[in-house]
């Protein structure tokens, strides 16, 4: 028997004990090269750096392991719908998680009410979430960063960033890249500025895809994730997580540049703050 989908589902609302923006970091998928769960690890690191972060995730479609798959493997109850626990997690730990799938129907209706053609949905549907964030680092799997940024502005995002990463052969990853250049369309006060950045601009060497590619299964991806958070991995995987966490810290207006954000992110990992946050998050979401 088919499951019944409630197309009028109301998003989660929580009481905020903070006045700062709630930030998100998302990879759209459908990119050329599949990496490990960069945005998921970056979300934990950014939260441990003092940013309020909501990770919006889902199970894998085109890759081996999505955020939901990895979090579940780490012992997190990804089906938890307890608003009080989500509220506690965000207010106390700076971090919360929403599996996006139950909210896709509602968001489709919202977007179709604004746009009378379907094409933009493929660009911005991943921002669908049970709890809306105020700002987002949106990793795009195609080169249309300006169009996507304009769509985000039309949805009310006044401070965010759309990023398209490349390797040295021009293949795309949906995050800020440490294996080539990144096209960034930055939204600030509803104005969009597009520019190119390279890993060296953030203080890192250019690496190669083989060092950041996804693991062979969910368990391997979960191990990659935890090794980075624990500070065990000191290589290119750590670098790309720090860069993307640095971008979240930057759009939260905690620092003046992404490079400065990466330095704050590194301290969060090296001090053990990121590992402690993850462990406490797992305890709440059991």
In this predicted structure, which of 53-62, 154-163, 214-223 has the lowest mean pLDDT?
Answer: 53-62
Structure confidence by residue, pLDDT tens digits, 208-258: 999 999 889 989 999 999 999 999 999 999 999 999 999 999 999 999 999
Residue-level pLDDT at 240: 98
Is 20 part of any domain? Answer: no
Structure confidence by residue, pLDDT tens digits, 84-106: 888 999 999 999 888 766 655 44
Q: Which of 156, 157, 176, 178 has the alpha carbon at shortest distance from 165?
A: 176
Domain range for residue 94?
A: 30-279
Residue-level pLDDT at 103: 54
- Is residue 32 predicted with pLDDT exceeding 50? yes
Is 105 part of any domain? Answer: yes
Residue-level pLDDT at 38: 94
In this predicted structure, which of 76-80, 155-159, 209-213 has the lowest mean pLDDT?
Answer: 76-80
Q: What percent of the chain has pLDDT over 70?
A: 82
Is 203 part of any domain? Answer: yes
- Is residue 179 predicted with pLDDT exceeding 70? yes
Cα–Cα separations (whole angstroms), residue 25 to 51, 134, 286 = 12, 11, 23
Structure confidence by residue, pLDDT tens digits, 111-133: 444 433 334 444 555 555 667 78
Q: In the structure encoding, which two tokens stand for residue 79, read together?
A: 């089906």
Calculated CA dihedral for residues 208, 218, 258, 154, nearest 10 degrees: 120
Q: In the structure encoding, which two tokens stand for residue 174, read together?
A: 């949906």
Is 5 part of any domain? Answer: no
Residue-level pLDDT at 127: 59
Give the integer Cα–Cα distance in Å for 9 and 131: 12
Is 7 part of any domain? Answer: no
Residue-level pLDDT at 113: 44
Give the integer Cα–Cα distance in Å for 111 and 15: 26
Asked if 40 and 63 touch (Cβ cutoff 8 Å), the reply is no
Calculated CA dihedral for residues 153, 154, 156, 157, nearest 10 degrees: -20
Q: What percent of the chain has pLDDT over 90?
A: 60
> pTM here?
0.88
Mean pLDDT of the chain: 85
Residue-level pLDDT at 71: 86
Give the integer Cα–Cα distance in Å for 246 and 253: 11
Which spans in the chain are helix H? 38-48, 67-73, 83-93, 104-114, 121-124, 145-154, 218-230, 236-251, 258-270, 273-284
Kindly indicate the confidence band of residue 285, based on its pLDDT and cuts at 50, 70 and 90.
confident
Q: Give the distance, in angstroms, between the CA of residue 266 and the centroid of all CA atoms in the same chain.
A: 17
Q: Please give the tally of structural domains in the chain.
A: 1
Is 22 part of any domain? Answer: no
CATH code for position 207: 3.40.1030.10
* Ramachandran angles phi, psi of 96, nearest 5°: -145, 165
Is 228 part of any domain? Answer: yes
Residue-level pLDDT at 247: 98
- Is residue 57 predicted with pLDDT exceeding 90? no
Is 38 part of any domain? Answer: yes
The residue among 30 and 182 whose pLDDT is bigger is 182
């Amino acid at each position: 028997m088919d499951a019944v989908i409630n197309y009028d589902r109301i998003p989660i609302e929580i009481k905020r004990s903070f006045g700062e923006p709630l930030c998100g970091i998302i990879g759209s998928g459908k990119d050329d090269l599949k990496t490990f769960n960069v945005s998921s690890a970056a979300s934990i690191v950014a939260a441990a750096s003092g940013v309020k972060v909501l990770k919006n995730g889902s199970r894998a479609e085109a890759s081996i392991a999505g955020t939901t798959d990895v979090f579940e493997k780490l012992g997190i109850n990804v089906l938890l719908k307890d608003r009080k626990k989500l509220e506690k997690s965000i207010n106390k730990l700076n971090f919360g998680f929403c599996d996006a799938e139950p909210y896709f129907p509602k968001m489709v209706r919202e977007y179709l009410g604004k746009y009378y053609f379907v094409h933009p949905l493929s660009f911005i549907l991943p921002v669908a979430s049970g709890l809306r964030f105020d700002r987002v680092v949106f990793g795009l799997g195609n080169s249309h960063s300006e169009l996507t940024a304009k769509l985000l502005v039309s949805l009310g995002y006044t401070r965010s960033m759309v990023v398209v990463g490349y390797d040295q052969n021009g293949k795309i990853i949906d995050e800020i890249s440490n294996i080539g250049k990144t096209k960034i369309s930055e939204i600030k006060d509803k104005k969009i500025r597009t520019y190119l950045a390279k890993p060296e601009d953030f203080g890192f060497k250019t690496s190669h895809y083989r060092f950041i590619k996804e693991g062979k299964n969910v368990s391997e991806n979960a191990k990659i994730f935890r090794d980075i958070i624990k500070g065990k991995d000191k290589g290119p995987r750590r670098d790309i997580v720090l860069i993307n966490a640095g971008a979240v810290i930057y759009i939260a207006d905690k620092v003046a540049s992404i490079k400065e954000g990466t330095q704050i992110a590194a301290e969060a990992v090296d001090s053990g703050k990121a590992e402690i946050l993850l462990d406490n998050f797992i305890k709440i979401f059991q």
